[in-house]
Structure 1
Amino acid sequence: MVLLVMMMMVKLVKLVSFFLVVLLFLVNASFALYTPLDNYLIACGSSQNITFQGHTFVPDSQHSSLVSKTGDSIVVTSNSRLVPFPIYQSARIFTEKSSYTFEIEQEGRHWLRLYFYPVPNSGHDLISAAITVVTDDFVLLSNFTFRNYKGSYMFKEYAINVTSETLIVTFIPSIGSVAFVNAIEVVSMPDELFFDQALALHPPAPFSGLSELAFETVYRLNIGGSFLNAQNDTLGRTWDNDLKYLHVNSSVTNVSVSPSNIKYPKGVTAETAPNSVYATAEAMGNANVANSNFNITWVFPVDRNFSYFIRLHFCDIMSKSLNTLVFNVYINNDTALGSLDLSSITNDLAVPYYKDFVSNVSVDSDNLTVSVGPDTMADITNATMSGLEIMKISNALKSLDGFSSVESFLPSSSSKKNTIGIIVGCVVGAVAAIAFVGLCYCCLVQRNSKSTQQGRPLLSLPLYGNSQTMTKMSTISQKSGTASCISLSSINLGRVFTFQEILDASNKFDERLLLGVGGFGRVYKGTLEDGTNIAVKRGNPRSEQGIAEFRTEIEMLSKLRHRHLVSLIGYCDERSEMILVYECMANGPLRSHLYGTDLPPLSWKQRLEICIGAARGLHYLHTGASQSIIHRDVKTTNILLDDNFVAKVADFGLSKTGPALDQTHVSTAVKGSFGYLDPEYFRRQQLTEKSDVYSFGVVLMEVLCTRPALNPVLPRDQVNIAEWAMSWQKKGMLDQIMDQKLIGSVNPASLKKFGETAEKCLAEYGVDRPSMGDVLWNLEYALQLQETASSALMEPEDNSTNHITGIQLTTLQNFDNSVSMIDGENSATDDDAEDAATSAVFSQLVNPHGR
């Protein structure tokens, strides 16, 4: 019996041991940490190891794989109670340019983390010390000083793609000062943490090349959850609570589940974000919010001179079943994700999902906003987000702080760069030799063909670094005064400017002459040698728009001439530049006269005349050529005003030739600006002239209400101006939301007709919208009603229309059936003919005193 009991006990022990081994294996499999090949945790100036947030930092003087060139550096330590954390108790102070060289085993992105605290009683004025920090390729800090810094200590985190066997971090003190650092981390990260591509906004398009850029972490939030330090994250990251960034704190409620409930899908791991991040979230509203549909908005102060990488983390931990949560996500004024149904993507609940974006900050704001709110098309009033990361992207000079390049700090920094210089020199020399031989050959050819070319060389026209050329194009360049000429068969593409001419005209792109910034690039005011004022639009190489838009703009505007279209004077494509030169529009974009500036408000008559001018320009595009042209980016910033406030449509980079006679639409990828996009075009990718009509309807509401087309900071029902204004129009109360500066000066009949026009433009389906000819007629009628109101008595308003005493309206009876009153006019070739035709239509309405 005893033997039997002993045998059973042995079996039980073996069974328990087996289960313990299995359990240990499962635990290790579930919580296995990423082990970085490169893992430098350096306590600068310390004489002993320092433990901070669960990690051990080794003195910089004792690390076997670290090579330091610190010159006459000074070590300081402090046991003062004022020191915020142990990692800041020591520092190394540099009196001259000094560097740390880290041997790299795994190429790819690495975290580079720097710790700064001006240790007291160091013998130097560390608070006033101006610190510059650079790597081989990037400027991280440029003359930073604690004198202008609000905090007592500073932690900086960068993500840098290391493509060599070493990473050199150099500290440069300013003249007569010192530099210092308390601790450094260089840690490799998983390759799949950051990809080379993200979605750029405004307009939406893929953005490639992120691997060549450096990032600086600006914000990393655990939304709805508590602060997480490096010990809680497998990659040593810190996650802040989001409460202080909420636009309206009472607009949210916290949601949470146990972290063990989170189910990571393939491609998303704890390295993407810890399960503690996905286990918490913010959801919409609570009892303290009057409008339960109020968007959740986070506002972040940023540097407007940089672009930002934005990663949004989502996890539906609040729904009880699939497909019961649909919402929109906004970044600034752009819709980043529309009608997002997480469960349809993940096929389950409590499954993490993230999305990456690249966004610029608005030129008139120092804030970046991120918002979530319910989809207006869904009968679900909720939205959620779990985590948010915002990282600054290095600029064209490879800087994350200011506008100085590495070369300005390290003109001859390393043998590596010297070697590169030798190689580059050899290549350049070889190319120069080949070019010389080619030049001699060209000279010979030129000499033989001089009589036929009248002494002018025949050149090809490269576009943006010779990457693409104009189809069937040849240029004939000849300078006469300040002019260059270009010919394309029988089509005149305008004047070809040299880059030096552009520099002279714009005073070397003087920022004081900056007129504005658009999707293509920056626009400067300029003056030619003959005194002609011009607008110079300089393409930004990192813009979403590039060669295709540059070529489209030239080709389109070379064919179009109209009083209400901005005229293209010429262009320049030297030195890998894409520069367009236009007639100068002295009063700038329409938007700047509506809101956002201190310019005097426009009168109602001025606004109507501007809308009529823009409508004429669009009507010409749609009907004036053998095949219609669809603008595709109609908005208030693309309607410019000359010195007489005559409106002209601008920016044809996204324009598209319309459908042929036997077609109803053009199938094409969606391009344009959110807030102005035709919803039917957005859904079906089918472009028609009616897409421009919808965008123009948004412009009309913007002109009336003087607010942006999209404003995610507002309550949900007010975010989209088209939807918001239409709700008031249908109630017949448009006067309640119009610009307060117009109150008392707008004739009710004119406003009614204006509102009806906008309402028809904003119809859900293109077939229900009027043509631009009908819109033009409508606006002319609204203007006549406004003008006549001051000199003629108004008859009582009836249910059909507002009309003027003594005027027969039988010719207008088919107006509501969208019959164009100016069909057949030859607007394609003669502005005066268009005006005459329009005047004929209104011959019965003309004010006897004239307009």
Structure 2
Amino acid sequence: MELIKWVLYSLVIFLVLVNGSFALYTPPESYLIACGSSQNITFQGHTYIPDSQHSSFVLKTGNSVVASSNSSSNAPFPFYQSARVFTEKASYRFEIRKEGRHWVRLYFSPLPKSSHDLTSASLTVVTDDFVLLSNFSFKKHKGSFMFKEYAINVTSDILVMTFIPSNGSVAFVNAIEVVSMPNELFADQALAVDPIAPFSGLSELAFETVYRVNMGGPLITAQNDTLGRTWVNDLKYLHMNSSVFNVSVNPSTIKYPEGVTPETAPNLVYATADTMGDANVNDQNFNITWVFPVDPNFSYFVRVHLCDIMSKSLNTLVFNLYINSDTALVSFDLSSITNDLSVAYFKDFVSNVSADSSTLTVSVGPDSMADLTNATMNGLEIMKISNALKSLDGLSSVDILLPSSSSKKNIVGIIVGSVVGALAAVALVGLCCCCLVGRKSKSSPQQGGHSWLPLPLYGNSLTLTKMSTTSQKSGTASCISLASSNLGRFFSFQEILDASNKFDEKLLLGVGGFGRVYKGTLEDGTNVAVKRGNPRSEQGLAEFRTEIEMLSKLRHRHLVSLIGYCDERSEMILVYEYMANGPLRSHLYGSDLPPLSWKQRLEICIGSARGLHYLHTGASQSIIHRDVKTTNILLDENFVAKVADFGLSKAGPALDQTHVSTAVKGSFGYLDPEYFRRQQLTEKSDVYSFGVVLMEVLCTRPALNPVLPREQVNIAEWAMSWQKKGMLEQIMDKNLVGKVNPASLKKFGETAEKCLAEYGVDRPSMGDVLWNLEYALQLQETSSALMEPEDNSTNHITGIQLTPLEHFDNSVSMIEGGNSCTDEDPEDVATSAVFSQLVNPRGR
């Protein structure tokens, strides 16, 4: 049967080629170069010209040799039999007639009989703006050939590609392709996940193709793709081979709507698919999952190709799409968008892969709200996105690798710089005059030069006190008035660079939606966490503003303290106290850290609940965190839990209101379903999210795991089903088995169950949650003979008291050196050593 299937596929491909169903795209530029070859090489209908004979580009090198071998006759490409070997820095210069995105394809194979040891060669390849390869060696490569494909936006009439030998070695290349692509192939925007939000600026970034997969279909070579791409079968990436059923139709039946063309993907991709229907599994409620090994600490562009080729009528295919543990599409009805069947469609996403992960998963599964158990996917493209250093490999930038570059853009820069310098000199004279006048009148405020809006001081104020403070160290003005507020210490950008060792990647603690977080050390030896935002992101600006506004007013032992900030050079940088033991999640799963004891877990949950209880009741107006999850609960060196990341926080409802109407934000898996449906936010939304955290702490698994069977994907639904059976111990962390007092577990489960109630009115307050968790801890520590009282959150147990809410009214006075406290725990009275940075800030 398999043989017959592949024969049919081959026949289909042949018919498509014969009928000429592909409208071939003719690229304005198409450089196909056989490096080191002495003659033209024809392969798959294309002719590769030797780099020594090509007239449309310049090979500039001080010293290079040609290597050739006949022993690579079994190589997949004939141009792998020759190579250009560089013993010093060399470059190719390509004339570009039409600016825009271009494919850059590089072919490498270390020839065995070369005069140099090419297997040990250290390859570094850069363009004008991007690092493509950095110190790559075949010694660590699992194959004898390597093909790299990049998508680079060329914005000038010259593209320079430089090869740099390093470590006393040589560099080499066998073949190069530089081919233009349609401008509309990649848009500037996509949809970011975790959390769901628009992502713009893709045109300024470079891509590296990591995977291009044809679901349910055969290998598609460059001959069968209008843009010369290769699509591989998905079988080896499937998490469960038996979980899919392949479907296919005649490619000629595929319809391309406006905005989708054969250049998007050939109809051979849309004509085959993986589906759930008739899969060889007992339970049909599951997800189809593909797992792809990737490099951590990078963002990835994910393009999903969809086409309903199996339905008999419209609106009969509704499913969800997941990328990693994030929900990318919910209740997605493909035919409601295409208004027809067999219509090609694609959707673009951007997803981050953190430092503690080396895989990217993509899943489709049935929608639990629809009575339809099917899902499908036709094709998938995964591309690595260049990082902040404009690199696709390693941590070096072009400026470091080519410090003395004499490219055309630098010449233009010198000319422009000279003109700007002359104008600046004239402007400086005028500025000095203005400053003198302003100094005399004392009425002209300084303004900081920022590419993003100035920050309001408090709450929802839209005004800015026109009074700047200058860093004593840097002399640079801040746009925030520090003299009249308690926003923390202002750091100059140079101080941030010194503290983080110039953002040394070895000090990287994590990567989030706002930016990257580094460990830093201040001059006095204090360890801090430096959170560097992305100035281009409007979402990042909003989080930056909110974080400063919120944390400047909040001080509590169980809230991560903001030490200060930096807003120089269009940077958005926040400096927090350093939490030595990192996020709670890393102590539950996904790392090799020792498991937490049940007592430790209860104490961490209690500390987190105290922090949230203070947010809800301790300030003049309640604050809703809106993103409570295990990655936002951090642990210090003593495993004291502190709630972090207030970028999505929102002021709670006024006394005469029941909720705050706002757009849904947060993390899927933790979102309050009532808030998601009605877009009405209350403190009980945090309570629901905290209930998910409680189950995550008990079961040590993610809130959402698309790889699992459908009934287990959502931890809240799965754990609640066991809680209602009274069998929560069946799904608890195996490291806790036999070590948890049954009464303590029962109280913990009941507390989580109340938090996860469908409607907010049925959920307890964080004060009640705190009381019940403290009781669960007391039950764990006392004799098992202790009788559990009635299930009433207002019961009082000897030795356990909640702080009266009125005690929280003046808690912010801690900043001014007052003695008020926010918790009856004696440890909460003491101000952390980190507050010395706030009481007597330097650099003001």
| Partner Cα separation in structure 1 for residue 780 and residue 640 of structure 2 | 19
1:40 aligns with: 31
| Partner Cα separation in structure 2 for residue 478 and residue 136 of structure 1 | 36
Do the aligned partners of 2:476 and 2:568 also contact (CA within 8 Å) in 1?
A: no
| Partner Cα separation in structure 2 for residue 204 and residue 66 of structure 1 | 44
Q: 1:426 aligns with which of 403, 412, 419?
A: 419
Q: Say if 2:245 is the partner of 1:253.
A: yes
2:341 aligns with: 349
Q: 2:124 aligns with which of 112, 129, 132?
A: 132
With over 3 angstroms needed to count, the CA separation of the structure-2 counterparts of 1:437 and 1:242, relative to structure 1, is: same
1:20 aligns with: none
Q: 2:152 aligns with which of 148, 160, 167?
A: 160
Q: 2:736 aligns with which of 721, 737, 742?
A: 742
2:48 aligns with: 57
Do the aligned partners of 2:321 and 2:329 also contact (CA within 8 Å) in 1?
A: yes
Q: Which segment is superposed worse, 516-525 or 292-301? A: 516-525
Do the aligned partners of 1:465 and 1:577 also contact (CA within 8 Å) in 2?
A: no
| Partner Cα separation in structure 1 for residue 386 and residue 207 of structure 2 | 6
With over 3 angstroms needed to count, the CA separation of the structure-2 counterparts of 1:27 and 1:192, relative to structure 1, is: farther
1:490-546: CA deviation from partner (whole Å, max 9, x where unpaired): 542122223343344445445555444433333344444445443332334466842
Q: Which segment is superposed worse, 556-565 or 407-416? A: 407-416
Q: 1:650 aligns with which of 644, 651, 662?
A: 644
| Partner Cα separation in structure 2 for residue 466 and residue 542 of structure 1 | 9
With over 3 angstroms needed to count, the CA separation of the structure-2 counterparts of 1:115 and 1:514, relative to structure 1, is: closer
2:435 aligns with: 442
Q: Which segment is superposed worse, 209-218 or 587-596? A: 587-596
1:149 aligns with: 141
1:715 aligns with: 709
Q: 1:214 aligns with which of 186, 202, 206?
A: 206
Deviation at 1:175, TM superposition (A): 6.5
Larger radius of gyration: 1
| Partner Cα separation in structure 2 for residue 416 and residue 580 of structure 1 | 34
Do the aligned partners of 1:207 and 1:544 also contact (CA within 8 Å) in 2?
A: no
Aligned 1:565-576 pairs, distance under 5 A = 565-576=559-570
1:4 aligns with: none
Q: Secondary structure at the match of 2:808?
A: coil
2:615 aligns with: 621
With over 3 angstroms needed to count, the CA separation of the structure-2 counterparts of 1:403 and 1:588, relative to structure 1, is: closer
Q: Which amino acid aligns with 2:435?
A: C
With over 3 angstroms needed to count, the CA separation of the structure-2 counterparts of 1:175 and 1:481, relative to structure 1, is: closer
Q: Which 5+ residue runs of structure 1 have no aligned equivalent? A: 1-25, 796-801, 839-851
Q: Which amino acid aligns with 2:109?
A: Y
| Partner Cα separation in structure 1 for residue 620 and residue 727 of structure 2 | 42
Do the aligned partners of 1:482 and 1:501 also contact (CA within 8 Å) in 2?
A: no
Q: Which segment is superposed worse, 182-191 or 478-487? A: 478-487
Deviation at 1:440, TM superposition (A): 6.1
Give the % identical residues. Answer: 76
Q: Say if 2:390 is the partner of 1:404.
A: no
1:158-189: CA deviation from partner (whole Å, max 9, x where unpaired): 11112222322233334754433222222211
Do the aligned partners of 2:297 and 2:354 also contact (CA within 8 Å) in 1?
A: no
1:623-670: CA deviation from partner (whole Å, max 9, x where unpaired): 333432111111112222334433322211111112233433323222
Do the aligned partners of 1:55 and 1:231 also contact (CA within 8 Å) in 2?
A: no
Q: Higher relative CO (CA 8 A, sep ≥ 6), structure 1 or 2?
A: 2
Do the aligned partners of 2:779 and 2:786 also contact (CA within 8 Å) in 1?
A: no
Deviation at 1:757, TM superposition (A): 1.9
Do the aligned partners of 1:222 and 1:241 also contact (CA within 8 Å) in 2?
A: yes
Root-mean-square deviation (CA), in Å?
3.4
Do the aligned partners of 2:354 and 2:511 also contact (CA within 8 Å) in 1?
A: no
Q: Secondary structure at the match of 2:25?
A: coil
Q: Which 5+ residue runs of structure 2 have no aligned equivalent? A: 1-16, 457-462, 812-818, 827-844
1:631 aligns with: 625
1:846 aligns with: none
Deviation at 1:580, TM superposition (A): 1.9
Deviation at 1:356, TM superposition (A): 0.5
Q: Secondary structure at the match of 2:47?
A: strand
Aligned 1:152-301 pairs, distance under 5 A = 152-174=144-166, 176-284=168-276, 288-301=280-293
| Partner Cα separation in structure 2 for residue 696 and residue 367 of structure 1 | 27
With over 3 angstroms needed to count, the CA separation of the structure-2 counterparts of 1:406 and 1:500, relative to structure 1, is: closer
Q: Which amino acid aligns with 1:673?
A: S
Do the aligned partners of 2:474 and 2:492 also contact (CA within 8 Å) in 1?
A: no
Q: Which amino acid aligns with 2:417?
A: V
2:294 aligns with: 302
With over 3 angstroms needed to count, the CA separation of the structure-2 counterparts of 1:76 and 1:560, relative to structure 1, is: closer
With over 3 angstroms needed to count, the CA separation of the structure-2 counterparts of 1:191 and 1:763, relative to structure 1, is: same
1:828 aligns with: 809
Deviation at 1:196, TM superposition (A): 0.6
| Partner Cα separation in structure 1 for residue 100 and residue 508 of structure 2 | 39
Do the aligned partners of 1:205 and 1:544 also contact (CA within 8 Å) in 2?
A: no
Q: Which segment is superposed worse, 195-204 or 250-259? A: 250-259
2:555 aligns with: 561
Deviation at 1:734, TM superposition (A): 1.0
1:117 aligns with: 109
Q: Secondary structure at the match of 2:610?
A: helix
Do the aligned partners of 2:285 and 2:373 also contact (CA within 8 Å) in 1?
A: yes
Deviation at 1:235, TM superposition (A): 0.8
Do the aligned partners of 1:114 and 1:156 also contact (CA within 8 Å) in 2?
A: yes
Aligned 1:20-31 pairs, distance under 5 A = 30-31=21-22
1:388 aligns with: 380
1:564-597: CA deviation from partner (whole Å, max 9, x where unpaired): 3222222222233322222333433222332333
2:325 aligns with: 333
1:684 aligns with: 678
Deviation at 1:309, TM superposition (A): 1.0
Do the aligned partners of 2:446 and 2:477 also contact (CA within 8 Å) in 1?
A: no
With over 3 angstroms needed to count, the CA separation of the structure-2 counterparts of 1:427 and 1:751, relative to structure 1, is: same
With over 3 angstroms needed to count, the CA separation of the structure-2 counterparts of 1:305 and 1:345, relative to structure 1, is: same
TM-score, normalised relative to structure 1: 0.85
Q: Secondary structure at the match of 2:551?
A: helix
With over 3 angstroms needed to count, the CA separation of the structure-2 counterparts of 1:448 and 1:670, relative to structure 1, is: same
Q: 1:549 aligns with which of 543, 546, 552?
A: 543
Q: Which amino acid aligns with 1:51?
A: T
| Partner Cα separation in structure 1 for residue 513 and residue 611 of structure 2 | 21
Deviation at 1:34, TM superposition (A): 1.4
Deviation at 1:702, TM superposition (A): 1.0
Q: Which amino acid aligns with 1:468?
A: P
| Partner Cα separation in structure 2 for residue 214 and residue 718 of structure 1 | 38
Q: Secondary structure at the match of 2:164?
A: strand
Q: 2:699 aligns with which of 696, 699, 705?
A: 705
| Partner Cα separation in structure 1 for residue 796 and residue 495 of structure 2 | 55
Q: Which segment is superposed worse, 720-729 or 371-380? A: 371-380
Total equivalences in the alignment: 791
| Partner Cα separation in structure 1 for residue 793 and residue 191 of structure 2 | 52
1:847 aligns with: none
1:94-113: CA deviation from partner (whole Å, max 9, x where unpaired): 34433333222222111121
1:640 aligns with: 634
Q: Which amino acid aligns with 1:276?
A: L
Do the aligned partners of 1:285 and 1:294 also contact (CA within 8 Å) in 2?
A: no
With over 3 angstroms needed to count, the CA separation of the structure-2 counterparts of 1:783 and 1:403, relative to structure 1, is: closer
2:454 aligns with: 468
1:417 aligns with: 410
1:88 aligns with: 80
| Partner Cα separation in structure 2 for residue 732 and residue 555 of structure 1 | 44
Q: Which amino acid aligns with 1:773?
A: G
1:199-238: CA deviation from partner (whole Å, max 9, x where unpaired): 1111111111111111111110111111111001011111
